[in-house]
Structure 1
Amino acid sequence: MAGMKNLKKTRRIQIIVLAFVALGIATGLIGYALQDGINYYRSPSEVIAEPPASNEVFRMGGLVTEGSIVRGQGETVSFSVTDGGEIVPVRFTGVLPDLFAENQGMIGTGTYVDGVFEASEILAKHDENYMPKEVVDSLKETGVYVDPNS
């Protein structure tokens, strides 16, 4: 009878250990699968202070600097983005959102190469009161944010 209890206890411990190992492996696989899908947000000041590696894809947002939009060949557009502290030049090839304009909030996804943010995607605010939370937070940090409701 005592041997049976030890066998059950050993079996239970083996199952618990196996469950933790399986959980660890599953967590590792999920993390590995998601590592390319996670784009970290940076403000222009953060990009200038600590430039990311040229192969790192990240999101950057702020206000489109007044007078900075320059349309190049085809669908290429260059402009600058600021958070009130630093200004980062941006180059984008593609169709800009309809609400994209100077002094308006935007978030871009792309890479930082040779001092220029090469955007692969641009998102603009979608109404007069909306601005992405990350952009609002970085503008508040630099003291540039103006509440649209005031």
Structure 2
Amino acid sequence: MSRLSGNRAHKRKQQRLVMGLAGLFGLAIAGALLVLALGEGANHFRTPADLAERPIEPGRSFRLGGLVAEGSVDKLGDSTITFRVTDGAAEQLVRFRGIVPDLFREGQGVIAEGVLDSAGLFVASNVLAKHDETYMPPEVAEALKERGEWREGADGKLVPVNSAEPGS
């Protein structure tokens, strides 16, 4: 009888070990899936030049930032607007249905959130514009400075590289 009770105890230890290992394996899988889901759901920032260099598959959400290209705003009937976003090196056509911010205008910084359609048109679900005369979204400012399109002026504000500053 003691041999039987010893086998039972050994079996219970094995079962606990197997269950513990299965639990750890399940937690590892759940953690990996969580990290993967968060990474895929991240709303990545791109400039038009980034998009031209490394295209994003249609339907994947991301943020597009740059300047509203001069002469590109076209207001269509049903509160739909199209415009081009530029970073000086490339442009991306954007369509947005809704009301754009009051400060939205050509030549100003903008970030549009949305997806590319199968034809390569960026369909925006949200459009964010600068909120005062000195603000440009940080991602846009960094991208423009890295590309050599903009620089910091004497007063610390960003200015186009080819523009002359007063007093210079």
Structures share fold, TM-score greater than 0.5: yes
Q: For 1:140, what is the secondary structure of its paired residue?
A: helix
1:117 matched to 2:118? The reply is no
Higher relative contact order (CA 8 A, sep 6+): 1
Give the Cα separation in 2 of the matches to 1:31 and 1:42.
22
Q: Pairwise mapping of residues 23-34 of structure 1 onto structure 2 (< 5 A)? A: 24-25=28-29, 27-34=31-38
Task: Answer with 32-41 or 86-95: which moved more.
Answer: 32-41
The answer to whether the 8 Å contact 2:58/2:120 transfers is no
Please name the residue that 1:85 is paired with. 89
Q: Which runs of 4+ in 1 moved over 6 A?
A: 17-20
The answer to whether the 8 Å contact 1:84/1:143 transfers is no
Amino acid at match of 2:104: F
Please name the residue that 2:107 is paired with. 103
Aligned length: 144
Picking from 60, 69, 72, the partner of 2:76 is 72
- Seq. identity, %: 43
The answer to whether the 8 Å contact 2:94/2:122 transfers is yes
Shift of 1:131: 1.4
Stretches of structure 2 that go unaligned for 5 or more consecutive residues are: 1-20, 158-168
> Residue by residue, what CA displacement relative to the aligned partner does 1:24-70 show, whole Å, maximum 9, x if unpaired?
35533532553453111111001112221111111110000011100
Amino acid at match of 2:100: L
Amino acid at match of 1:121: N
Task: Answer with 137-146 or 90-99: which moved more.
Answer: 137-146
Q: For 2:106, what is the secondary structure of its paired residue?
A: coil
Stretches of structure 1 that go unaligned for 5 or more consecutive residues are: 1-16
Q: Pairwise mapping of residues 25-64 of structure 1 onto structure 2 (< 5 A)? A: 25=29, 27-35=31-39, 37-64=41-68
> TM-score, length-normalised on structure 2?
0.71
Please name the residue that 2:132 is paired with. 127
Give the Cα separation in 2 of the matches to 1:139 and 1:72.
29
Give the Cα separation in 2 of the matches to 1:134 and 1:109.
13
Aligned-residue CA RMSD (Å): 2.8
Give the Cα separation in 1 of the matches to 2:132 and 2:26.
47
